[in-house]
Each structure stands twice: as structure tokens, then as C-alpha cells.
Structure 1
Amino acid sequence: MSVQAQWIGVDWGTSKLRAFAMEGDTLLATAQSDKGMARLVAGGFEAALLELVEGWLGDGPTDVIACGMVGARQGWVEAPYTAVPAPALAPKPVMVPNTDARIRVHVVPGLKQTKPADVMRGEETQIAGFLSRNPSWDGVLCLPGTHTKWAHVSADEVVSFRTFMTGELFSLLSKQSVLQHSVGEGWDDEAFAAGMDVTLSRPENLASELFGIRASDLLNATPSAVARSRLSGLLVGAELAASRPYWLGQQIAVIGEQRLSDVYAEALKAQGGWVTVVDCQDMTLAGLSAARNLLG
């Protein structure tokens, strides 16, 4: 079935490009490729986009609202960061000049924090989407992923945020460290919970506990799924210990891929957190729609 989009939403990350054909707030179709920012050279963005969305275009220009690394200095057009505290979407998206006549591309700016230094691109759109669905919500948003974000939100603004490289550390340790010989596939809830408890209470023991995964394998033939789950638990526990000033006693919403969101939600609930899990694609589309409304 052919689809003609009223407008197109784009989530353009480092490794993936995802496009959404939209009619108002209704999702008509989706498409994705592995042509994220890291795989493209200057001048290659338009071709990568058209490869996905050309079949959705009509005779006149179609607005494309894009978020993520497409707005980085190495992206299609630089959309400068906005300093917090600020609304998640401020100022309005930056227009890409000299595009194919069939598209008008606008890129959502990211957010920055001067002290301590921190930045985000893409997550601000999910935050904006959440706030569009939950106006005047006050609390903390956790956006788990390769680089997990914790954002304090109040009065419809992002007040402050911190980034944790937990996902990237897990990938590096499980694939490129001595732990690669012990960590395999599968999952063990008890091993995750035990690892998380260790570093949540004593995060300074993280480096020693990490090597303990390898030692336990050598001496006790620990199953690889247990090793994987303990590694994840140790890293998430250390993150929760460091981010405690954000989430302790706060209303919390988790926005991310379902499996990972559930891991964080259960970990926070175990600490007495009031947690809601929301769908990240829904929040991205709601945020892109809110950004489109800023164009006037």
C-alpha cells in the first residue's frame, strides 16, 4: 500500500536512521537503515534520507522534523545546544538549507549543561514528548541506553541532567576486556539483583567486583548468563548510587527500549521508587510533533 506523508519524523542517531510517515499525530509507516551519522560523510545525509522516504513524498514540499546526532557539528546541519534550565524544545528547529525541493528539513537543537559539563541530542525530544502528554509533571526522567540520561524536570523545563556511560561500559567490558571470556548470553534475575546490591551500597568496590566475575568463572565455572547479569547489575548499581540525588524520593518515569526500561524500573522499585515506564517511540513521535508545532 502506498503512503503519502503529511510530514515526516526522523530519529537520526549515531548508528541508526529511523523515519516515520505521519498524518497529524497518526503514524502511517516506518522505515529504518543503518546509515547513522557515524556512517555518513559530509554531503551524504540527503541521499540517505531520500533513500528511505522518497516513496512517501508528494508533489509539494514535505516538512521533515529530525532529532538526534543529525544536528551535531559533524551532522547535516549544526543545531546549537540550548543551556538548561530551559524547555526541552527551545528554540525552534534549525532549517537545513539547499535541500531537494520535495523536502523541508528542520533539526531539533540539543541541550547542554555548563556545570557539570554535559550534553544531550535526541533525548530532549523524548522529554518534550513526555511533557506534551504530561503537562506540569514534576520529577525525574530516566532515559536508559548506551549513554543513560537522568533529567530533573519541573515547571515544564529541564532543570538539570547527568549522563552515565553505563551501556557503553557494559559493551566494552563484555566484548573487549578479560571479561569477554566469561560473559555470554542469557539472563539471571538473581545475579543481576545481587550485583546491583553490591555497588549500590559500596560503589567504590566496582573495579574489584568486576574482576571477581572472571575469577568466579575460573574457579567455580560460573554460567555465562550469570556472569552477564552480574556485570549488568554491578554497573547499574554504581549508576544508581551516583544518581541517587536525582531519583531518591522523586516521581520517576523511564523512557527507553522496553527490555532495558524494565531492568531500570525494577531496580528503582526495589529501592522504593515510584516508577512509570513509557514507550520511547511514542515519546519521540510526540516530541517531533511538538517540534513541528513550533514552526508556525
Structure 2
Amino acid sequence: MTPEPTADAPTAPRWIAVDWGTTRLRAWAMRGARPVDARASDRGMGRLAPAGFEPALLDLIGDWLPAAGRMRVIACGMAGARGGWAEAEYRAVPCPPIDPRRAIRAPAHDPRLDVRILPGLSQAEPPDVMRGEETQIAGFLAENPGFDGALCLPGTHSKWVRLSQGRVERFRSFMTGEVFSLLVGQSVLRLTIGAARPDPAALAEAGAEALADPHAAQSGLFPLRAAALLQGLAPERAAGRLSGLLIGAELAAARDFWQDGPTAIIGAPDLARLYETLLLAAGAQACHKDGTALVLAGLAAASLDLPEDT
């Protein structure tokens, strides 16, 4: 059994940071802005009913909690979604990415838990929302306070964000990752691609095609199956071309975000590099940043401004 940390133990947290996604739950034991321990589980929002959030969190971080007193937990992401632990509001853009004063307290039965969930962001026209990414944006701005340009946050639902003077001015979401998963898992392309990893050269080639002609993302899909049947197209090259066509179409649709200024790509390193490669080839000013480090920086920034009695 893991021993319970004491208040003076060097790894005992002063507060706990939580990023609750649809598929994953991540937590960090924090001292100030410094993590002293980190854990993760697969108990994301998609697997939980509202009553399951507290037990899932306690299973992960229970031995970080004090024997007496309360532990502040600051959470972002899908814990605040409708159907999550407790629904947190959306703040309308343009606005700074986070406002800890508008965090809500999640209902917890364990008296040691003081859980605050940060709000997401919304946009009226075109209609759009985000939860969790706003915390990465806050982390990026904490490290780059004068940044004026675009952020790209690739993932299941990619986000493109325009930043100016410390505020999110507007944003746009693309279902690129989810469309890829649906096509590979449920369409006829499952017979061609299966579980193959995308070939980088094929991805770059197809991405350039879709950037030059966004219609290629539609007209180029079924030929992947036909090429496998008639020409022996390898699954890896088919996966690469599919990924490139979808990402290239996304970049073409988001051109107004990245074509006239710097773009920082925030996400998992492998995926961020794919976007960076295509953007650089298109002449963009692009670099990538680690998404995990920035969500932690955003949660740490929120901890400094969170009132005691929200």
C-alpha cells in the first residue's frame, strides 16, 4: 500500500491539477507551479456518469489527500461538460482564455476535496465551444505574454485560435481527428487501412494536394480503396494519404488564421509535427509546443487567481 504523504513530505502536494478529457484523466501533485508527481487513468468523461467522477478521482489521487483538512483541486476539461461532474459555464469570446473567479465548485462527498472546475469558451458566430484547450492557451500566454498570432491545437476536434493582446478574439473547430477515426473504423476504407500507421511521405504529399485544392479531400477518398485493389496500395501509404487529405483540407479552411502571422501548434509531439511540416511547406511561420506542459502551466496560472470561496 502506498503510504499517505504527510504535510512535510517533499512530494506532498499543496494543491492538485487535473485535466479531465473525454478518454483520459490526468492529475499532478503540485507545489506552487512545480509538479512533484503525476498520474493518469483511462477513466475519461466518456466512461463516467456524473456520480462516477468523484470515485474516479479518489482512486487516482486518494493517497495525495491529507488525513485532515481540505485539498484544493483545480480541474479543466470535460469534468465541466453537460453530463460531466458539474456543468461549468462557457465564457463568450473575445475574452482572456481563463477567468478563475468564474470556476464552479464540484459537489464532493469526501470532506478532503475542494474541487473547482474552470469554465470553457464559446463563440456566437459561427457557433463554437471549447473545454480544456482554453487552459493550454492560458499556459501559452503565461510563457508568451506578447504573442499576437494564431494557435493550432490539433486533436480529435482541432481548434484554431486567434490571439491578440492577451485575449482569444475568435476560434474555429474542425472534426479532423474524429473524421479520420470514423473513416478508418467504419467506412469501406477500413478494409484498406486497418490499424496501419500513416506513412509520413504519403501524408506530406496528400496534404500539399489538399492545401492546393480542398476538394481533393472529398474526391481523393474512394481512390484509396480502388488503388489498394488495383495497384496494391500499401495500408501505410493509404493511411498517410487519408491523414494528409484531411489535415490539408483543414489547413486550407483555416488559412485566414495562419497565413499572415506566426502560428504555434500545441499538442502531442507526433501530431503537432505533422501539422508543422505541412504549414512550413505552405510558407507559414510555424513552431510546435508541448501540450501537456502548457495545460499544466495554465492550471498553475489559474491557481494564483482562484478565490478561496468561489
**TM (normalized to structure 1)?**
0.97
1:43 aligns with 2:54: no
**Structure 1 residue 104: deviation in Å?**
0.6
Q: Please list, as runs of the form range in 1=range in 2, the aligned pairs for 1:223-262 lying within 5 A after superposition.
A: 223-262=234-273
**Structure 1 residue 99: deviation in Å?**
3.9
Q: Distance in 2 between matches of 1:99 and 1:128?
A: 30
Task: Report the 3-state secondary structure (helix = DSSP H, G, I; strand = E; otherwise coil) of the residue aligned with 1:43.
Answer: helix
Q: Distance in 1 between matches of 2:177 and 2:168?
A: 23
The corresponding residue for 2:114 is: 104
**Structure 1 residue 36: deviation in Å?**
1.0
The corresponding residue for 1:21 is: 29
| Preserved contact between residue 203 and residue 244 of structure 2 (Cα < 8 Å) | yes
Q: Distance in 1 between matches of 2:184 and 2:107?
A: 43
Task: Report the 3-state secondary structure (helix = DSSP H, G, I; strand = E; otherwise coil) of the residue aligned with 2:189.
Answer: helix
1:129 aligns with 2:139: yes
Q: Please list, as runs of the form range in 1=range in 2, the aligned pairs for 1:112-151 lying within 5 A after superposition.
A: 112-151=122-161
**Structure 1 residue 271: deviation in Å?**
0.9
Equivalent in 269, 279, 293 of residue 280 of structure 2: 269
Unaligned residue ranges in structure 2 (runs of 5+)? 6-10
RMSD: 1.3
| Preserved contact between residue 81 and residue 110 of structure 1 (Cα < 8 Å) | yes
The corresponding residue for 2:94 is: 85
**Structure 1 residue 21: deviation in Å?**
0.7
> What is the number of residues matched between the two proteins?
296
The corresponding residue for 2:65 is: 57
Task: Report the 3-state secondary structure (helix = DSSP H, G, I; strand = E; otherwise coil) of the residue aligned with 1:142.
Answer: strand
Task: Report the 3-state secondary structure (helix = DSSP H, G, I; strand = E; otherwise coil) of the residue aligned with 2:169.
Answer: strand
Q: Distance in 2 between matches of 1:132 and 1:155?
A: 12
The corresponding residue for 2:8 is: none
**Structure 1 residue 135: deviation in Å?**
0.6
| Preserved contact between residue 20 and residue 26 of structure 2 (Cα < 8 Å) | yes
Q: Distance in 2 between matches of 1:193 and 1:277?
A: 17
**TM (normalized to structure 2)?**
0.93
**Structure 1 residue 25: deviation in Å?**
1.1
Q: Distance in 1 between matches of 2:222 and 2:164?
A: 41
Identity %: 49
**Structure 1 residue 203: deviation in Å?**
1.0
Equivalent in 176, 183, 186 of residue 176 of structure 1: 186
**Structure 1 residue 42: deviation in Å?**
2.3
Equivalent position amino acid for 1:73 in 2: R
| Preserved contact between residue 127 and residue 283 of structure 1 (Cα < 8 Å) | yes
Q: Distance in 1 between matches of 2:126 and 2:197?
A: 37
Equivalent position amino acid for 1:64 in 2: V
1:156 aligns with 2:146: no
Equivalent in 70, 74, 81 of residue 72 of structure 1: 81
